[in-house]
Amino acid sequence: MVLLDRVLEVGDDHIVVELNVRADGLFSSVDQQVPAWVGLEYMAQAIAAYSGYQRRRRGEAIGLGFLLGTRYFECSVGSFPCGAKLTVRAEKIIEAANDMSVFDCTIAGQNIKASSKLNVLLPQDSQKFLAGKGI
């Protein structure tokens, strides 16, 4: 389930993506709203796009990623109106040797602001990780 529409910008430590909140999506309600907590999924998908881009740039296969947790999720609205255009920015602020990273994420739209820090695991070797060999 891809919720993002396009990548606007990508750099060594960040990505900016855009999406239109869909009325026909899994999370939309009959009143044409998507709960604000879905913003965490928008942020996580932005990080996944960043990770995939960086791996491809290095000539590697795209691997798995895991959302481990979030901190300080704040949103100016309780839900996103369907049809709203949102811009999501994810910036890597910590990258540990054990494949864990922290991203500072924001969502911006007309009268919409959201932010959170996402803790993720981006294993370098997905097959080894899935086989239980650790990271």
For domain 6-130, is the CATH number 1.20.1250.20? no
Q: Which three-class secondary structure state does DSSP give residue 55?
A: helix
How far apart are the C-alpha atoms of 61 and 80, rounded to whole Å? 34
Domain ranges of the chain: 6-130
Residue partners of 56: CB distance under 8 A and separation at least 6: 62
Mean pLDDT, to the nearest integer, of 33-57? 98
pLDDT in tens, 57-105: 999 999 899 999 999 999 999 999 999 999 999 999 999 988 999 999 9
Q: DSSP letter at 78?
A: S
Q: What per-residue confidence (pLDDT) applies to 133?
A: 66
Q: What are phi and psi of 95, to 5 degrees?
A: -135, 115
pTM: 0.94
Q: How far is CA 35 from CA 14, 44, 103, 122, in A?
A: 25, 16, 22, 27
Q: What per-residue confidence (pLDDT) applies to 105?
A: 99
